[in-house]
Amino acid sequence: MRDGGRIQAAIEVVDAVLNRHQPVKDALRDWGKAHRFAGSGDRAWISGLVMDALRSKASAAFLMGEDTPRAIVLGTLARGWALTPDDIARTFEGDEHAPEALGEAERAALSRDMADAPLPVRADIPEWLEESFTRAFGEDAVIEGQAMAGRAPVDLRVNVLKAEPDKALAAVVAKLKDAQASELVKNAIRIPETDPKAKSPPADAIPAYGKGWVEVQDLGSQIAALAAGAAPGSQILDYCAGAGGKTLALAALLNNTGQIHAWDYDWRRLRAIWPRLQRAGVRNAQVHDGSEADALSGLADRMDVVFVDAPCTGSGTWRRRPDSKWRLKPEALDKRIKEQTLVLENASRYVKPGGRLVYVTCSILPQENEDRAAEFLDAHRDFEPVAAVEAMASTGLLTEEGEIQIGACAGRFGAVQLTPARTGTDGFYVCVMEKKE
């Protein structure tokens, strides 16, 4: 395919996402099925443009003065992909599959100055979240929003239950030459973000992944898991275990000693956990798939650590799921807040005196983070906050740079808020609370 046809394809996919409310993955898959002649290079190019267009929808629409899929894709080509109006016009010439030629008004818009754009546009966030963003980031709101509209790298976690970090890194680099050791966490490997037009690195196709030496896991998620500490023999309850991403990281932290109890109120979400535990060689995890009363009876007041990877809006992962940024509505945020309050309340029952409750979200909204921690601490005077970065550093797995960068993200209660702009990770909030003896 020529680029003109690919741009037209991207417009059609963006239309399916924004106007027919299809999840972006499904829209890309359906387009591919209906256009079997498109090769894998074409699909990667189209997908790269679609994702970038969704990441920067507000600024692209503002530039063009309208929010049609065509305007958003053209605006993205001009802003993120740095094409001039002449470049775009040339791409369309002589290609029968290309979009209609650029009009005069579009040409003028493409060169417009964005300096007068309002904050939600410059930060590429939904308007209704301006207040939350400003509260979370103050003067950095635009910088943080822009970083969240960028592309994300692929991170791997070395599974030390199966491979030494050096051996795993060498095996990954042998297949993915751009892979490098993380600057922040000792057992993490980063494959930097690729050119949006290229195929993404096939991290889960490499032999090291097949052998269970590495897991795909965002670095922010890995850092959050470190907050559980790594005291050998610990009893940990992973209260919102879901597909088990954190469970695997916690098991590796304990080096197969002690016990991880994995539970989720929706047992269907635990489906993926079984094969993952097996692949990773985890022997200290017990999956509890019954109702809470049956499954967790006997654990009350007994856990060294209760890890709460709470249900949340996922606003910290907008780089990877840009369509969810625009779909998020106030009602959904309210629903999550209620769930978070409930989950913290219920989960806290299992913490033993002297034990810890680790509250984590992959969100950057203060309503889901600091406000929930404050509400919990206010109602539970037998818990007190402790510095999250110290809990993480106690594992010995933060690098010196990691300790500095993560330490700089600490706020109220010693909790840390990681973000793409601050730590080059997804947005994660981590608050550690200790139950008094």
Any idea which residues carry the catalytic annotation? 362
Q: For the purposes of burial, counting CB atoms within 10 Å of the CB of 394, is it exposed (0-12), middle (13-18) or buried (19 or more)?
A: middle
- The least CB distance from residue 414 to ligand SAM, in Å, is 22
Query: Is-contact 88 110, C-beta < 8 A?
Result: yes
Q: Euclidean distance between the first and final Cα of the chain, in Å? A: 67
Q: Which is nearer to ligand SAM, 157 or 246 (CB)?
A: 246
Q: Determine if 265 is a binding residue for ligand SAM (CB under 6 A).
A: yes
What tokens appear for 270 in the block?
A: 């635990």
- The least CB distance from residue 139 to ligand SAM, in Å, is 30
How many residues touch ligand SAM under the rule CB under 6 A: the total is: 17
Q: Determine if 427 is a binding residue for ligand SAM (CB under 6 A).
A: no
Q: Which is nearer to ligand SAM, 19 or 278 (CB)?
A: 278
Beta strand pairing call for 154-158 and 188-191? antiparallel
- The least CB distance from residue 347 to ligand SAM, in Å, is 7
Q: Which is nearer to ligand SAM, 197 or 269 (CB)?
A: 269
**Among positions 124, 144, 304, 309, the unique one binding ligand SAM when judged by CB under 6 A:** 309
- Is residue 155 annotated as involved in ligand binding? no
Q: Which is nearer to ligand SAM, 81 or 265 (CB)?
A: 265
Query: Is-contact 97 37, C-beta < 8 A?
Result: no
- The least CB distance from residue 10 to ligand SAM, in Å, is 30
Q: Which is nearer to ligand SAM, 79 or 157 (CB)?
A: 157
Q: Determine if 269 is a binding residue for ligand SAM (CB under 6 A).
A: yes
- The least CB distance from residue 251 to ligand SAM, in Å, is 12
Which residue's entry shows tokens 């509890």? 288
Q: Determine if 264 is a binding residue for ligand SAM (CB under 6 A).
A: yes
Interaction with ligand SAM in 7-36: which residues (CB under 6 A)?
none
Q: Which is nearer to ligand SAM, 66 or 292 (CB)?
A: 292
**Among positions 311, 316, 355, 424, the unique one binding ligand SAM when judged by CB under 6 A:** 311
**Among positions 339, 371, 403, 434, the unique one binding ligand SAM when judged by CB under 6 A:** 339
Q: Determine if 288 is a binding residue for ligand SAM (CB under 6 A).
A: no
CA distance 7 to 99: 7
- Per-position b or e across 158-191, b if 16+ CB within 10 A of its CB: bbbbbbebeebbebbbeebeebebbebbebbbbb
Query: Is-contact 7 98, C-beta < 8 A?
Result: yes
Element (H, E) at 286: strand 285-288
- Is residue 266 annotated as involved in ligand binding? no
CA distance 270 to 159: 20
Interaction with ligand SAM in 215-254: which residues (CB under 6 A)?
239-246
Element (H, E) at 123: helix 119-123
- The least CB distance from residue 291 to ligand SAM, in Å, is 11
Alpha helices in 124-231 (DSSP H): 130-137, 141-148, 165-175, 207-210, 219-226
Q: Determine if 380 is a binding residue for ligand SAM (CB under 6 A).
A: no
Rounded to 5°, the CA angle 24-27-30 comes to 150
Q: Determine if 397 is a binding residue for ligand SAM (CB under 6 A).
A: no
Helix, strand or coil, per DSSP, at residue 72:
helix
Q: Determine if 266 is a binding residue for ligand SAM (CB under 6 A).
A: yes
Q: Which is nearer to ligand SAM, 198 or 342 (CB)?
A: 342
Rounded to 5°, the CA angle 317-319-322 comes to 90
- The least CB distance from residue 366 to ligand SAM, in Å, is 18
Q: Determine if 342 is a binding residue for ligand SAM (CB under 6 A).
A: yes
How many Cβ atoms are within 10 Å of 147's Cβ, its own excluded?
A: 17
Annotated binding-site residue numbers:
264, 309
Binding residues (CB under 6 A) for ligand SAM: these are: 239-246, 264-266, 269, 309, 311, 339, 342-343
Annotated binding-site residue numbers for S-adenosyl-L-methionine:
264, 309
